[in-house]
Amino acid sequence: MSVRRSVIAGTGGYLPERVVTNEELARRVDTSDEWIVARTGIRQRHVAAKDELTSDLALHAAEAALVAAGRRAGEIDGILLATTTPDLTFPASATRVQAELGMTRGFAFDLQAVCSGFIFALAQADALIRSGMSERLLVIGAETFSRILDWEDRTTCVLFGDGAGAVVLEAGEGAGTPADRGVLSARLHSDGRQAELLKTDGGPSSTGTVGKVRMLGREVFRHAVTNLATVMEETLADVGVSTDEIDWVIPHQANRRILDGTARKLGIDPGRVIVTVDRHANTSAASVPLALDVAVRDGRVAPGNLLLLEAMGGGFTWGACLVRM
């Protein structure tokens, strides 16, 4: 039986030039490199220049993904940009990326699921392609989280960074088995009852401001490992594969301890988990596609590999995608 699949044809990533080390942060707030590394695994993060917008980061990542896929912008049917930090309240930053790429057809829109944004966008793009509505899409996660951090708050400002990652997702054919290339399963969840644990304290309709990130870190941590392990198991059960068959886990890069805790809970060898949190920190919606791009470019992720992508973020939102490259 032939089934329509959506296949990752190329990946791209972009990090702003400026690197902020833990030592530099320790000069601004009451923290230390030792505390940050021990509690999070983070050693540094990239921070966008003043005139560098989320759409600029997204554009760089999208261009790199197009090159990797051997495609031109004119061959793209649409752009899904996952971001919590758009250039403006509207229009969607995706439309600026569309214009900058020189695209005059197709659609472009932003999608907001905070740190899970890329997983939600990938699931959405997969559905658009499998339904036959689209042939080829750009799926991007891009953030300038540095703009919504309270740089006086040591409990949040040490955790985040800026960046962008992108994939070109295109239609392919499979046999309807786990050996197929493409997105094999996608599972999404939200629980709005937990909104207070991780949010901004402002927004267009409430305060008329952007707001700053506020988080009860210990509570978020507690939910993260459980929710992520559960949703990962759901995708594996959908496809009928075991954890032993996963070549690489590409997790949202929030905290090294969450990565290790989740892998341990599922009995996955930590050596099979792609880790970039030490260099990128938490880049929210950008973290999964950035980590994927790093691992594709350094040769760890190879064609045919089975990948488990997962993320959790504010809302709460969480999800996972099982993908064969």
Is 61 an interacting residue with respect to ligand ACO (CB under 6 A)? no
Q: Which is nearer to ligand ACO, 119 or 312 (CB)?
A: 312
Respond yes or no: is residue 305 known to be catalytic. Answer: no
Q: Considering only residues 135-164, where is the footprint of ligand ACO by CB under 6 A?
A: 154-155, 158-159
Q: How far is the CB of 120 from ligand ACO (least distance, A)?
A: 14
Given the DSSP bridges, would you call strands 162-174 and 182-190 parallel, antiparallel or unpaired?
unpaired
Is 46 an interacting residue with respect to ligand ACO (CB under 6 A)? no
- Stretch of 49-57, 165-173, 210-218, 263-271 lying at the interface with ligand ACO (CB under 6 A): 210-218
Respond yes or no: is residue 223 known to be catalytic. Answer: no
Rounded alpha-carbon distances, angstroms, from residue 2 to 5, 174, 185, 321: 9, 6, 17, 21
Q: Which is nearer to ligand ACO, 171 or 224 (CB)?
A: 224
Is 305 an interacting residue with respect to ligand ACO (CB under 6 A)? no
Q: Which position among 254, 275, 286, 322 is part of the footprint of ligand ACO (CB under 6 A)?
A: 254
Residue 223 neighbours by CB distance under 10 Å: 16
Q: What does R_g of the chain's alpha carbons equal in angstroms? A: 18
Respond yes or no: is residue 252 known to be catalytic. Answer: yes
Distance CA 11, CA 206 (A): 37
Is 27 an interacting residue with respect to ligand ACO (CB under 6 A)? no
* Active-site pick, 46, 60, 252, 280: 252
Is 35 an interacting residue with respect to ligand ACO (CB under 6 A)? yes
Q: With residue 199 as reference, give the H or E element that holds it.
A: strand 198-200
Evaluate whether 58 touches 162 at the Cβ level (below 8 Å): no
Burial of 226 (0-12, 13-18, 19+ CB in 10 A): middle
For residue 219, how far is the Cα from the chain centroid? 21
Number of residues interacting with ligand ACO: please give it, by CB under 6 A.
24
Q: How far is the CB of 214 from ligand ACO (least distance, A)?
A: 11
Six token digits for residue 302: 């190879």
Among residues 83, 131, 139, 118, the alpha carbon closest in space to that of 320 is found at 118
Indicate which residues carry an active-site annotation: 115, 252, 282
Instruction: Give contact residues for ligand ACO (rule: CB under 6 A).
Output: 31, 35-36, 39-40, 115, 154-155, 158-159, 198, 215, 217-218, 220-221, 224, 252, 254-255, 258, 282, 312-313
